[in-house]
Structure 1
Amino acid sequence: MSVPRYVDPQQKTILNMMFIYAAGNSLVALAAIPQLALPARLCTMIGLFMVTVGTGGIKPCVTAFGGDQFKLPEQEHHLAVFFSVLYFILCLGSLIAKTISPILRSEVHCFGDKDCYSLAFGAPGFVVLLSIVVFVSSKNKYVIKKPEGNVVVDFVKCVSLGIKNVLLNRKKYEKCLHWLDSTEVSYDNKFVADVKKTLSILCLFSVLPVFWALLDQMGSRWTLQATKMDGRFGFITVKPDQMQVIAPIFILILIPLMQKIYPKLEKRNILKNPLHRLTLGEMLAGAAFIASGLVELYLRASTSYPQLPQPGFSQFRLFNGHPCSIAVNSDAENITYTIPPLSYYVNRNIKVDGHKNLSLELGGTCAEPAVQAVSLEEHAAISVYYSPDGVARYRDRVDKSKAGFPIVRFLVSGDIDDTTLALYNEKRHEVESYISRGVSELHEAFASTYSLRAGNTTVGRTIELENGGVYTILLRRSKEGYYYLRRHLTACSVCGLWEIRSCAEYMPV
């Protein structure tokens, strides 16, 4: 679509920024398609930069262009209503986008993945293209005002002239009440007065970058915090990236509510002016970050944050796949432990410099005594599956999924030889993965209720995989001929309501 020649500069800027915004979304969407084999990180960074440029170019121009449609001072009231409606619509659009996009990402499966980032980013790009069509179709109804000079340039020149006059002609202008009064010879009195007002509020604007840096943590640090929390509230499950939707919800509620509350407070000499309200808002914002910080400390103290391997140390786990208890001994590491059937032993702080061989004495009533050497690696988690079939060593993963999905690994005894054994999702009514003997690969699954099925026969029921959980499931036959399993997990246990409370305190700003 070509930009018409007769549109004014503001319309051109808005259109061009819309195209850049749509192109950025499209590039990120294409980068998420694995079959295209694009450099995902580079394309994503470029696409997000284009989205940032497009957003930064659209917002101020739309505000100014909308203001140009009114005749002042006759339509001053209508202008105020326009800005209120504009902000309301922005928040409403933000609410819809932040609600639907996570659903499109997680509930739709595309290109062989469990999520669909291509759709989550592609859909906003398509909506922007539709908005371009709507914007251009109404071009004949817009009020076009020709630009008169450059306010920014005139502002800089006026300030520069004032500084020059004060520095070079101090005696001549020493009677001036304000150092900018010396510029009234070159500039209109009203313009000079506006420059004075602008400079007087620069102190307020100087903290705006800090404010927005903190506010935008709702889409970054607080969203990451939400991946470590349990998003279930009764029968509703809130996805981590849907936590951002709390902000526009509170804004939509508080805008009309505060319009009723503030006039009543003013009659009682409480919060009489915007400065008082800003002060209260900033105090509540500080309280919100303190609350969020306390939640983060609690998460780290609980099982929500896994203990990861540290430099100079190695983590070691030994899983017992026998039907009896296994005794484990190591004089070098002072290990003496008895592992129950289908359970495990863990030591998270074994000192290792590069590589180290750990000698273990193993034995039990159903296992012959043996000495096993295990190679440990620094800054890594090493696990061993000890079963009647032998010893299997593998490099383990103890960190949680960044997307919040549960992660599961199966350790299957050799007495299970059914090739049709599968993990079945009871809610989605589909096979999540097929299970074979030995140590399986790590598999990201959906948070759901699962069962074990061999063909059409259910041989194991009610396996709950929860958001953020890291599971190791041991399988072997029981005496009755069914499959017996034991789960070891670290799932999200802290309710996400605590983070919503932090957001609730932040929103009155």
Structure 2
Amino acid sequence: MFNRQRNSEAYGSSSSLCSSSSDLSRLIAGSQFSRIRQYTRTRKRENRFERVHFNQDGPFDLEEAPAIPYPKSVAFIISNEFCERFNYYGMRTILVLYLTNKLGYNEETATVLFHTFTMLVYIFPLIGALIADGWLGKYKTILYLSLVYSLGAMVVSFGAVPLTGMPTKAVTVVGLLLIAIGTGGIKPCVSAFGGDQFSLPAQSLQLAKFFSLFYFAINAGSLISTTFTPILRADVHCFGDQDCFSLAFGVPAVLMIISVVIFMAGKRLYRCQPPAGNMIFGVSRCIADAFKGWRKRRNSEPMESFLDYAKPTVGTRMVRETKCLGRILRLFLPFPVFWALFDQQGSRWTFQATRMDGMVLGFQIKPDQMQVVNPLLILGFLPLFDYIVYPILRRCGIRRPLQKLTIGLLLAALGFFLSAGLEMKMEQAALGAMPTEPDVAHLRIYNGMPCGYEISSEALGSPRHVESLGMWQDLAVRLAQSKEYAFQGKPSSGKCPPIAGKLHLQPGKSVGYLLAQNKLVEFADGLESLAATETGRSSVRALLNTPENEGPAVLLEANESPVSLDPRNPSQLYRITPGHSQLNINGQKVASLETKGGGLYSLLVAGSARDGYQHKLVEVVPPSAVSILWQLPQIVVMTAAEVMFSVTGLEFSYSQSPPSMKSVLQACWLLSVAIGNMIVVVIAEFKFTSSQSGEFTLFASLMLVDMLIFLWLARSYQYKDQSEDLEEDDANEPRSEDVMQTKPRAIETPQRRTGGGLEAELGYGAYRNHAYDNDFSEA
């Protein structure tokens, strides 16, 4: 069975869109091979090889033709694809965490940037295909855009180096734009260029092996980079940070440079086809001519269809195939919503994983590593669906592609309902960390003094007692607007002085106050400071009431670099590895602490080197109680939706479209991915819901409505008999001397005849390039 979405990268039409989508290729390879073999056997049985099988030296007979050596150039193309996919998936895996943790964007802005980048990645294939098919050819297009791609990868890696005065955000945006141009531009051309190395149909089986290797290279690059890039990011420390995004971006960038070198090394062995022309222009011309004819003759010569007005200029066949294309594109209208949900696995679902407990059987799973589950499941689901799921569905009467597409849309909605339920569970656990209502504020008061205090304020209601190194909190302070309250603190024991000050509360905010150095110190408290943290890390705030001349203060973790603390900045959060750690001041052990992943802690320390130190660890936000494994159900369901939808959808498009329109349809398929990411950008930007669970529910509900629209559009679709294409092939079989042509040739068209008020049609070749007539890729 086809994994159509990812195999549009591994196999596809060699014209117009060169081939198709990179990300979508992993799924398609398997059944394409059986299709090629079946086609070869069928053509052989019907004795159709007599005059249509050619190699570069002329016609041959299939039974007597000598074996053609396997192209050595394929090794360079497959190695290039492995390195390129390693770079793309590695960079994409950690991108949202880089945008939040390093560039300081909030989750909404990071989501917008991520999906804008993905949208551009799926728009630029159209430009790359037009350049390759109409101007430079595949080899030069891949080479030049790969250089742009490599430059973008190096720029992003360089931007992650913390250099003073460097506009990091601008550098990152420029790098991502160059990557989008590069990866999008070469996306439709690499697999088609690999297919050009074979003599078809004589090497159909060898071509199938190539796509198998190509498919493996894509998966290998994706799996390895998705697994190890998060390790480079989190477990390596550089430039004084507790992570190393520059290395995590830099290693994939080096692989991208290597991919260009490998690709150039095989130049002497490549078979390069000249630019073949692009059917997108033919379709555009057909529509434009139809509009012109409709404007001139809609009253005098009414036609059954709008496109019929283009017959005098483009011919009956072009009009017929454009109509067929339009019937399929009508079904494409609901498709962007699926991609809007699917691509959030790399953004919203990664952010969701950052708020979960990644400790599993003693191993720490990083949030971005959860993305590796999808390609692993794909490899297992392909045979599972082929041999178990689809036979069961056939027994239930579900055989047709449009029925499977509907199930895929339904599964996508179910996956997001599951993610919404999981998010609700996590939101309930975090209610005490951040106000959930707009007219509520959180107030926490920490006592860093060596004495207990009686505190009073209008904001507190009745007077409260806070023990030494203790915390008092009120998480339900009601106020309509920002307000200031007087504060008084009187020692209940010991020789500590009274402390007075002001409390400043804002609705929807969490604020903390520290009694230290005989004064009241204000700082931001709660989850707003925790937003950019990640699973597997604890967050500690150091609240030190020690003499100013004592220092330095250092936090020591097991097998980690020491973390220097700023004793006078209580707002600063430090991310540490869960487990045992200790605080040293002037090299002397002051405190021991035990933390858990996902928790927010305040470490209160009072005293001096002369009098000794006292400490207490206060839990402000509970550690993650929800295991990251709870994401598996939604990932499994979404992967099943991908197989049902993208695989079936690409096969449906491929089989139902006219042979000359297959690559035009690939272009529209990629555009639907781009539009889907645009939908995510709009919803994230305008914030239609107040919570993340509400946003997930909105997407799931939108998917259900979208599924109903698809059912309505598909209700009257008539499937095309695929034997029509074979009969049409036989009627237009090329002569051997035609195949030998390496340059597009002019196609003779019959003279115009008049009759019935309309000029008789021109030949079908009027807007076709001769290269299309020799395209065996639809096999």
Aligned equivalent of 1:445, options 555, 575, 594:
575
Distance in 2, Cα, partners of 1:174 & 1:64: 42
2:620 match? 489
Q: Of the two structures, which has the highest relative contact order with CA contacts closer than 8 Å and spacing of 6 or more?
A: 2
1:238 match? 365
Structure 2 vs 1, CA of residues 82 and 179 (structure 1 numbering), >3 Å: closer, same or farther? farther
1:424 match? 556
Distance in 2, Cα, partners of 1:432 & 1:230: 23
1:209 shift after superposition: 3.1
Aligned equivalent of 1:201, options 292, 314, 328:
328
Q: Is the CA contact (8 Å cut-off) linking 1:381 and 1:395 kept in structure 2?
A: no
Distance in 1, Cα, partners of 2:607 & 2:574: 25
- 1:433 partner amino acid: S
Aligned equivalent of 1:282, options 383, 395, 409:
409
1:469 match? 599
Distance in 2, Cα, partners of 1:127 & 1:147: 29
2:226 match? 98
TM-score scaled by length of structure 1: 0.85
Aligned equivalent of 1:498, options 630, 648, 655:
630
1:28 shift after superposition: 1.4
Q: Per-residue displacement from partner, 1:106-146 (whole Å, max 9, x unpaired)?
A: 11122222211111222222111111111122223333222
1:317 shift after superposition: 2.0
1:407 shift after superposition: 2.6
Q: Is 51-60 or 194-203 further displaced after alignment? A: 194-203
Distance in 1, Cα, partners of 2:203 & 2:392: 29
SS at 2:188 equivalent: helix
Structure 2 vs 1, CA of residues 365 and 439 (structure 1 numbering), >3 Å: closer, same or farther? farther
Q: Per-residue displacement from partner, 1:411-432 (whole Å, max 9, x unpaired)?
A: 234499975764321243x533
Aligned equivalent of 2:172, options 41, 44, 52:
44
- 1:223 partner amino acid: T
2:182 match? 54
Structure 2 vs 1, CA of residues 445 and 357 (structure 1 numbering), >3 Å: closer, same or farther? same
1:362 shift after superposition: 2.8
1:117 match? 245
Q: Is the CA contact (8 Å cut-off) linking 2:459 and 2:485 kept in structure 1?
A: no
Structure 2 vs 1, CA of residues 472 and 319 (structure 1 numbering), >3 Å: closer, same or farther? same
Where does structure 1 lack aligned partners over 5 or more consecutive residues? 1-6
Count of aligned pairs: 497
1:143 match? 271
1:344 match? 471
SS at 2:240 equivalent: coil
Q: Is the CA contact (8 Å cut-off) linking 1:8 and 1:144 kept in structure 2?
A: no
Structure 2 vs 1, CA of residues 263 and 376 (structure 1 numbering), >3 Å: closer, same or farther? closer
1:16 match? 144
Structure 2 vs 1, CA of residues 470 and 168 (structure 1 numbering), >3 Å: closer, same or farther? same
1:392 shift after superposition: 3.8
- 2:514 partner amino acid: Y
Q: Is the CA contact (8 Å cut-off) linking 1:28 and 1:43 kept in structure 2?
A: yes
2:400 match? 273
SS at 1:445 equivalent: strand
- 1:505 partner amino acid: V
Distance in 1, Cα, partners of 2:210 & 2:618: 58
Q: Is the CA contact (8 Å cut-off) linking 1:92 and 1:252 kept in structure 2?
A: no
Distance in 2, Cα, partners of 1:34 & 1:209: 38
SS at 1:157 equivalent: helix
The alignment-based identity, stated in percent, is 31
1:341 shift after superposition: 3.7
SS at 2:576 equivalent: coil
Structure 2 vs 1, CA of residues 152 and 477 (structure 1 numbering), >3 Å: closer, same or farther? same
- Find out whether 1:300 has 2:448 as its counterpart: no
- 1:488 partner amino acid: E
Distance in 2, Cα, partners of 1:249 & 1:304: 35
Q: Is 389-398 or 55-64 further displaced after alignment? A: 389-398
Q: Is the CA contact (8 Å cut-off) linking 1:432 and 1:445 kept in structure 2?
A: no
Q: Is 211-220 or 137-146 further displaced after alignment? A: 137-146
Q: Is the CA contact (8 Å cut-off) linking 1:383 and 1:394 kept in structure 2?
A: yes
Q: Is the CA contact (8 Å cut-off) linking 1:409 and 1:471 kept in structure 2?
A: yes
Distance in 1, Cα, partners of 2:264 & 2:481: 66
- Equivalent residues in 2 for 1:17-416 (5 A)? 17-76=145-204, 78-79=206-207, 82-83=210-211, 85-165=213-293, 168-169=296-297, 180=307, 183=310, 186-187=313-314, 191-261=318-388, 264-265=391-392, 268=395, 270-303=397-430, 306-307=433-434, 315-322=442-449, 325-331=452-458, 333-348=460-475, 349=477, 351=479, 353=481, 356-366=484-494, 370=498, 372-376=500-504, 378=506, 381-386=510-515, 389-398=517-526, 399=528, 400-404=530-534, 405-414=537-546
Structure with the bigger percentage of helix: 2
1:83 shift after superposition: 4.4
Where does structure 2 lack aligned partners over 5 or more consecutive residues? 1-134, 643-779
Q: Is the CA contact (8 Å cut-off) linking 1:424 and 1:450 kept in structure 2?
A: yes
Q: Per-residue displacement from partner, 1:418-468 (whole Å, max 9, x unpaired)?
A: 75764321243x5333585x765624232232134567775644x233343
Structure 2 vs 1, CA of residues 197 and 62 (structure 1 numbering), >3 Å: closer, same or farther? farther
Structure 2 vs 1, CA of residues 420 and 368 (structure 1 numbering), >3 Å: closer, same or farther? closer
Distance in 2, Cα, partners of 1:359 & 1:183: 82
- 1:468 partner amino acid: G
- 1:492 partner amino acid: S
- 2:513 partner amino acid: V
Q: Per-residue displacement from partner, 1:378-425 (whole Å, max 9, x unpaired)?
A: 3654433235x5234132232215142433222234499975764321
Distance in 2, Cα, partners of 1:148 & 1:439: 65
Structure 2 vs 1, CA of residues 55 and 173 (structure 1 numbering), >3 Å: closer, same or farther? farther
1:366 shift after superposition: 3.0
1:57 shift after superposition: 0.8
Structure 2 vs 1, CA of residues 361 and 35 (structure 1 numbering), >3 Å: closer, same or farther? closer
- 2:544 partner amino acid: V
